[in-house]
Amino acid sequence: MERHIRRLPPDTTGKIAAGEVIERPVNAVKELLENAFDASSSRISIAVEEGGRRSIRIEDDGTGIPASELPLAAQNYSTSKIAGIRDLERITTLGFRGEALASIRAVARLTLRSRDASEDIGREISWRGEEVVRDEPAVMKPGTVVIAEDLFHNLPARKKFLSSDAAEIRRITTLVQSYALAWPHVALSLSHNGRELLSYPSSDFATRVEMVFGPSVFPVMRAFEGSEGRLNVHGYTTLPSVTRGNRSMQFLFVNGRLVRDRLLGHAVRQAYQSLIPGDRFPLTVLLLEALPSSIDINVHPTKSEVRFASEREVHSLVSGAVREAVRGTTISFRDKVESVYRAIHPDRPPTVERHREPADRVPPSGMENDLSGPGGEWLFREAPEPLLDAPDAEKGPQEGRLYWQLHDSYIMIQIRGGMVIIDQHAAHERVLFDAARSSVGGGSPVMQSLLFPATIELSAEEYDRYETVSQVLPGLGFEVEPFGVRAIIIRAIPAGVKNWNDGALLRDILDDLGGASPAVDDLLKSYACRAAVKAGEPLSTAEMESLTDKLFATEFPFTCPHGRPTMLRVDLRELERRFHRTPGSER
């Protein structure tokens, strides 16, 4: 078949362009919802039938469209929001391309009804493709009604691959909930097949966040805010104890626009570094406000991605604001630490008196979630009674053995009302990580000199990594010097390190470091993990007690540097329940 270059007809190009913007019903709802926000609406109602494939109806009380301009509204690249190329550098609206209604008209039967506030009567136009099938006056209040029916009726292949009605309406519900967070002053409602799914009255930001996230999550969220020059950020995020396995509950907005942005997501993630595992994510709503000229929103067909002119400043601002919220709150974290330490050692002074650690911190991840197995609770699950009663002066010290080691991996400690179980490897990781961070930050590391210095031959890649971190190693307690072409000589190692293995420890640390310029925290985490006591290593009672004391003297004793929990509590009442015993009974 002979092929020739030809210009495609308008109906074909319209469908192709529409396919980039309208992939499924939720895309149509998004475009129409953004138009309603741009129209300064105070109330928007969305009615959907059969997941959006039968009909989508959105009504607002915004400024409306003048009757003379209504036919132009559904034409390609027709908009009132920009007039020329320079306006693309100062976009203040959600929509600006003038393609939303045209794209919907290309794949659905479109009806547009609108009345400008300055006019006495509105106008209604219906299209079937390019053809106008109805054009008449409309008696209505100021505002706009858009109805899209029989979505993808002319694209059976696209319609065939839509999900079930339930799946499509879930996407739409999530979208409406998302935008409800950024526009709290706008009343929003959503119904499906005549049944109301969402109804948000106009409110302040905090109230809207509570409406969307629910009364069980909002109390464990903390507000954050910050500013840097013309950048401003504010929002809410959960404590490290409440996370999800994906980012589906992270809502990021730039100038009111919902975006998927790796920079913002990474900034939020960095704020929780060492507090939550790498595969867990906080619940967050973040609103960033920036000069329109400092961002580019015209980089994606659905306008869901942005580019920042000052990425470093944005990242620093967001990460700092979120970090301050989750690491310093009105919850006395140190009080919780003391309550557990007193449960283990009621006859000893508080850790704050012995170590002067910072107060008012947040309990990190895992403190309020159920264990995957039966019979246990995380350490700070609310209990009807204190973890330990005040020590009785008339009673002598606790009799019997206090520490046990289970499978040479877990330290079991009996306390009043149950037991605490500590993961010895995770606990030692936290101890070593905090000590290393303090030393690298300006402290004085304690070294132990090697009687016979060790020489290690490195590969070219390993030597490059060594050179990258060579200035940090002395802060950890290593005394290392180049020795030959690609060899190093180690004269001293951090005091107390047991897993030295004639240089294998340092080689393993270098192997862990990926990328051209690993972060200092990556080095510290690798060192802590490699040098820490391993699961399966037996510990003496004195070693278990020493490790427990050092763990509770750290700033965040309840997670390892990777965010995994270091300990959990098993409640005696739970054991009694499992054994069908009457609480407090001796039989």
Cβ neighbours around 586 below 10 Å, total: 5
Amino acid residing at 451: L
Residues 225-229, mean pLDDT to the nearest whole number: 91
pLDDT tier at 80 (50, 70, 90 boundaries)? low
Asked if pLDDT for residue 366 goes beyond 90, the answer is no
Q: Which of 6-20, 371-385, 417-431 has the highest mean pLDDT?
A: 417-431
What is the C-alpha to C-alpha distance for residues 129 and 135, in angstroms, rounded to an integer?
14
Element containing residue 266 per DSSP (H, E): helix 262-271
**CB-based burial, 455-476: b 16+ in 10 Å, e otherwise:** ebebeeebbebbebbeebbebb
Residue 179, pLDDT above cutoff 50: yes
Indicate the SS3 state at residue 232.
strand
How confident is the model at residue 301, as a pLDDT? 57
Claim: this prediction has a pTM higher than 0.75: no
Q: What is the DSSP letter of 44?
A: E
Paired tokens of 265: 């997501």
In 10 A of CB 400, how many CB atoms? Answer: 5
Host H or E run for residue 126: strand 122-128
Is 9 buried (19+), middle (13-18) or exposed (0-12) by CB count in 10 A? exposed
Selection from 39-53, 70-84, 155-169, 332-346 with the highest mean pLDDT: 39-53
Per the structure block, which two tokens stand in for 87? 């306006």
367-380 exposure pattern, b = at least 16 Cβ within 10 A, e = fewer: bbeeeeeeebbbbb
So what's the pLDDT on residue 203?
96
Q: What is the pLDDT of residue 354?
A: 43
CA distance 383 to 377: 10
pLDDT tens string 116-148: 989 999 999 999 988 899 999 999 999 999 999
CA–CA separation, 58 and 148 (whole Å)? 9
Q: Which of 223-232, 455-464, 535-544 has the lowest mean pLDDT?
A: 455-464
User: Sorting pLDDT into bands at 50, 70 and 90, what band is 19?
Assistant: very low
Report the pLDDT value the prediction gives residue 357, as an integer from 0 to 100.
37
Q: Is 177 helix (H, G, I), strand (E, B) or coil?
A: helix
52 vs 13, residue with greater confidence: 52
pLDDT in tens, 444-473: 778 888 888 888 888 888 888 888 888 888
**What pLDDT does 295 receive?**
77
For tokens 């059969």, name the residue.
Answer: 50
What's the Cα-to-Cα distance from 361 to each of 226, 240, 336, 356, 464, rounded to whole Å? 20, 11, 9, 14, 38
pLDDT of residue 439: 83
The strand pairing partners of 567, in sequence order, are 422
Please give the pLDDT value at position 75: 80
Is the pLDDT at 14 greater than 80? The verdict is no
Examine the pLDDT at 240 and tell me if it is beyond 80.
yes
What pLDDT does residue 512 have? 83
Half-sphere exposure of 221 (CA within 13 A, CB side): 25
Q: How much is the pLDDT for 102? A: 85
Which is more confidently placed, 442 or 429?
A: 429
Across the range 295-308, mean pLDDT stands at: 66
pLDDT of residue 260: 85
Q: Which of 31-40, 174-183, 568-577 is modeled with the greatest confidence?
A: 174-183
Residue 241 confidence (pLDDT): 79
The larger pLDDT score, comparing residue 524 to residue 10, is at: 524
What is the chain's Cα-based Rg?
A: 31
Domains and CATH numbers, the chain: 10-198 (3.30.565.10), 206-327 (3.30.230.10), 332-389+401-442+460-471+521-587 (3.30.1540.20)
pLDDT at 375: 31
Distance spanning both ends of the chain, measured CA to CA:
92
